[in-house]
Chain A
């Protein structure tokens, strides 16, 4: 009701509570589903909490932290996660920029490219995993067949070879999610005023120079946003890997989130899993903070 108050009216009591009042439903969800579990996670990390027993279990102090930090599997899954993040973030930022610039140059049929690049993004991860299970299948799959067509006699087992599995999953992920970054870049491109393009053209800049010295710098803020969103999303990878390889072969694609799921829900060791998830939380926080700090400094220098 408060929102319908005419702006000319003197601010009444209703107005003061309009903002907080509208935020309240979200704030409640935030408290119940985010802050609450986070506090529980911090507390559970100090106990030998078990899924199969009521209560928090024995006090463990810092022993969970010591165990996790000394666990090779923790470091290996973290390494896998970071490797996946590199494999996806770099192409997802560069490729979506290139595709957006190219698609933007089309006057006719632009809608088709927008649709084609964005379409996979609307599919659920389960569908993507199913499609790529068929594509990457050994002996009978399309990807091995395609490799044979271009002259590779013995194509690798895409999901069965520890050296290739993560790359294969990353490639599927890039195809699947590039649409989101692509759309962000397209929006950024449309924010660049026509006059800037015209001025650059009058000054004698060719298409390549315009991209390099006008478009890319003016998309700087979009790039910062896209990179951070992408890195955070990649660090939280779980579903497509779980459905494509279950973390295999031989744990070579097992991400940190799966370690948390496996220890917490499959084995029921909630205390240990909470510790791992807090440490992953710290890693994600650090990555974001370092990135923003770097960008802020670069912007000040400019």
Chain B
């Protein structure tokens, strides 16, 4: 949608029409001339020419890749504008690609092909794999400190997650947990709000279903909604949150070579997920936009989704609030599926192409714009923002900041992380239980079987 891949080379001259043979010949020749001139221009700022020749872009050029569309994309554009206004000599080129595996595929191929962007966004769940594949530049704390980026200014959880074997590879930008949205007007009519407008007790397996049922009576359609169609990642997050609350531990270990899933805990989590549709408080098939639409049109009182939908829901101009995903199980410390966006420097073919200080300056500028980023729903990792009064006054964004403390990141494996095979495989198993096609025990057994199949594959790393 927002693909702003830079193209600076002159457009080819229009072909004369009708295209006579001579005209075609002339057109071809001039196209050739354009190609030749871009070769001559190699290194003079044309990204296209750079792509052909492999030369470094001009020293003032900063290529930045990200997977942010929708609300996130808008916030990012605002943050880039702040940077541009303060750094007029830097030519910032920002390119947005489709979230998930398409984005990581492009990033991987570009870095392997020695044409990486200087700065890129990745999920922290992907950092171990990217680092192990040798695609990331290791960050030295002394370099970061030059730009004011010191450890004490970062949320410790994502900061720790940015390291692989004690080496820092990423600068965390946020934490984005899986949360519970609710319509305050519907919740009020359902008698679910306490005196301060907060949701009364929705924790515990029965309390949450009761709350959904009460909302269902008000909406006349559904109690809550969650994406199940075309959205294995959301289904994975739903399962992962409850599974971690039961204390099921990891799904895989040793970078994905060993399967350690606790099938009893998985079956218990799945049985609860099945209850949501069995008791008809949540529809069995809705895609992600549909799940949000159900909340905003009042067909559902609750929505389980990521914090990045805050702007979308806000855009619908309905009364709503957000809180951490309920604590359904008390067997382990509070947990909810979460990931973090972070900024990395893909390994460049040379120091000149890396432009370390220009890149880190940009990273620092983005972190200093964390307030803008937080407005999009994410819990900032940058403590000066997270602890500022400005953020605390931000509603509903600050209402669920505590969820970040229970952040459960994806299990570490070469096939795991945002939009990965693991999310698809586990998410599909969850969906089949969610819709009632598979029993919870069979679903857990299926997860174990498919994870074993994944673990048995030779790692490409």
Mark A residues whose CB is within 8 Å of B.
Answer: 48, 50-53, 137-140, 157, 159-162, 244-246, 248-251, 262, 265-270, 272
Q: With A266-B421, A268-B460 as given contacts, are A139 and B283 in contact (CB-CB < 8 Å)?
A: yes
Q: Which residues of B contact A162 (CB under 8 A)?
A: 437
Q: Top 8 A-B pairs ranked by shortest CB distance?
A: A160-B229, A160-B285, A268-B460, A157-B285, A50-B460, A52-B133, A266-B101, A250-B428
Looking at A53, A139, A162, A262, the one whose CB has the most chain B CB atoms below 10 A away is: A139
Give the nearest-CB partner of A266 in chain B: B101
B293 touches A159 (CB 8 A): no
Q: Which residues of A contact B230 (CB under 8 A)?
A: 159-160, 244-246, 248-249
Q: Which residues of B contact A157 (CB under 8 A)?
A: 229, 284-285
Which one of A50, A138, A245, A262 lies within 8 Å of B285 (CB-CB)?
A138
Q: Which residues of B contact A270 (CB under 8 A)?
A: 460
A248 touches B229 (CB 8 A): yes
Mark B residues whose CB is within 8 Å of A.
Answer: 101, 104-105, 108-109, 112, 133-135, 228-230, 232, 283-287, 289-290, 293-294, 299, 414-415, 420-421, 428, 431-432, 435, 437, 457-458, 460-461
Q: Considering the chains assembled together, what is the distance between the CA atoms of A116 and B226 in angstroms?
A: 39
Chain B min CB distance to A21 (Å): 14
Chain B min CB distance to A50 (Å): 4
Chain A min CB distance to B313 (Å): 16
Q: Which residues of B contact A160 (CB under 8 A)?
A: 228-230, 285-287, 435
Q: Considering the chains assembled together, what is the distance between the CA atoms of A253 and B181 in angstroms?
A: 31
Q: Considering the chains assembled together, what is the distance between the CA atoms of A266 and B420 in angstroms?
A: 8
B285 touches A53 (CB 8 A): no
Q: With A160-B230, A249-B230, A267-B415 as given contacts, are A137 and B460 in contact (CB-CB < 8 Å)?
A: no
Q: Considering the chains assembled together, what is the distance between the CA atoms of A249 and B105 in angstroms?
A: 23
Give the nearest-CB partner of A265 in chain B: B105
Q: Which residues of A contact B435 (CB under 8 A)?
A: 160
Q: Which residues of A contact B299 (CB under 8 A)?
A: 139
Given contacts A248-B229, A267-B414, 7 further A-B contacts (CB under 8 A): A51-B108, A51-B112, A140-B293, A249-B230, A262-B421, A266-B105, A268-B460
Q: Considering the chains assembled together, what is the distance between the CA atoms of A140 and B299 in angstroms?
A: 11
Q: Considering the chains assembled together, what is the distance between the CA atoms of A188 and B101 in angstroms?
A: 44
Q: Considering the chains assembled together, what is the distance between the CA atoms of A269 and B135 in angstroms?
A: 16
Q: Which residues of B contact A53 (CB under 8 A)?
A: 460-461
Q: Considering the chains assembled together, what is the distance between the CA atoms of A117 and B232 in angstroms?
A: 36
B287 touches A138 (CB 8 A): yes
B431 touches A249 (CB 8 A): yes
Q: Which residues of A contact B431 (CB under 8 A)?
A: 248-250
Q: Which residues of A contact B229 (CB under 8 A)?
A: 138, 157, 159-160, 248-249
Q: With A138-B286, A248-B229 as given contacts, are A268 and B293 in contact (CB-CB < 8 Å)?
A: no
A138 touches B290 (CB 8 A): yes
Chain A min CB distance to B134 (Å): 8
Q: Considering the chains assembled together, what is the distance between the CA atoms of A273 and B457 in angstroms?
A: 13
Q: Considering the chains assembled together, what is the distance between the CA atoms of A189 and B294 in angstroms?
A: 51
A139 touches B293 (CB 8 A): yes
Q: Considering the chains assembled together, what is the distance between the CA atoms of A300 and B109 in angstroms?
A: 52
Chain B min CB distance to A146 (Å): 17
Q: Which residues of A contact B294 (CB under 8 A)?
A: 139
Chain A min CB distance to B222 (Å): 9
Q: Considering the chains assembled together, what is the distance between the CA atoms of A268 and B105 in angstroms?
A: 9
B428 touches A137 (CB 8 A): no
Which one of B112, B287, B457 lies within 8 Å of A52 (CB-CB)?
B112
Q: List 23 A-B contacts (CB under 8 A).
A: A52-B108, A52-B134, A53-B461, A138-B283, A138-B286, A139-B290, A139-B293, A140-B290, A157-B285, A159-B287, A160-B228, A160-B229, A160-B286, A160-B435, A246-B232, A248-B230, A249-B230, A250-B431, A250-B437, A251-B428, A262-B421, A266-B101, A268-B133
Q: Considering the chains assembled together, what is the distance between the CA atoms of A246 and B415 in angstroms?
A: 17
A137 touches B290 (CB 8 A): yes
Q: Which residues of B contact A249 (CB under 8 A)?
A: 229-230, 428, 431
Give the nearest-CB partner of B129 in chain A: A52
Give the nearest-CB partner of B104 in chain A: A266
A52 touches B428 (CB 8 A): no
Chain B min CB distance to A160 (Å): 4
Q: Which residues of A contact B134 (CB under 8 A)?
A: 52
Looking at A50, A53, A157, the one whose CB has the most chain B CB atoms below 10 A away is: A157
Q: Considering the chains assembled together, what is the distance between the CA atoms of A262 and B108 in angstroms?
A: 14
Chain B min CB distance to A29 (Å): 14
B286 touches A139 (CB 8 A): yes
Q: Considering the chains assembled together, what is the distance between the CA atoms of A57 and B449 in angstroms?
A: 28
Q: Considering the chains assembled together, what is the distance between the CA atoms of A64 and B109 in angstroms?
A: 23
Q: Which residues of B contact A140 (CB under 8 A)?
A: 290, 293
B428 touches A269 (CB 8 A): no
Looking at B290, B421, B432, the one whose CB has the most chain A CB atoms below 10 A away is: B290
Chain B min CB distance to A264 (Å): 9
Q: Which residues of A contact B290 (CB under 8 A)?
A: 137-140
Q: Which residues of B contact A139 (CB under 8 A)?
A: 283, 286, 290, 293-294, 299
Q: Which residues of A contact B437 (CB under 8 A)?
A: 162, 250
Looking at A140, A161, A249, the one whose CB has the most chain B CB atoms below 10 A away is: A249
Q: Considering the chains assembled together, what is the distance between the CA atoms of A246 and B287 in angstroms?
A: 12
Q: Which residues of B contact A50 (CB under 8 A)?
A: 460-461
Chain B min CB distance to A124 (Å): 14
Q: Considering the chains assembled together, what is the distance between the CA atoms of A140 and B421 in angstroms?
A: 29
Chain A min CB distance to B331 (Å): 29
Give the nearest-CB partner of A60 in chain B: B458
Chain A min CB distance to B34 (Å): 17
Q: With A53-B460, A138-B287 as given contacts, are A268 and B428 in contact (CB-CB < 8 Å)?
A: no
Q: Which residues of A contact B428 (CB under 8 A)?
A: 248-251
Q: Which residues of A contact B285 (CB under 8 A)?
A: 138, 157, 160-161
Q: Considering the chains assembled together, what is the distance between the CA atoms of A139 and B219 in angstroms?
A: 15
A267 touches B104 (CB 8 A): no
Give the nearest-CB partner of B106 in chain A: A265
Q: Which residues of B contact A51 (CB under 8 A)?
A: 108-109, 112, 460
Q: Which residues of B contact A137 (CB under 8 A)?
A: 287, 289-290
Q: Considering the chains assembled together, what is the distance between the CA atoms of A272 and B460 in angstroms?
A: 11
B105 touches A52 (CB 8 A): no
B228 touches A269 (CB 8 A): no
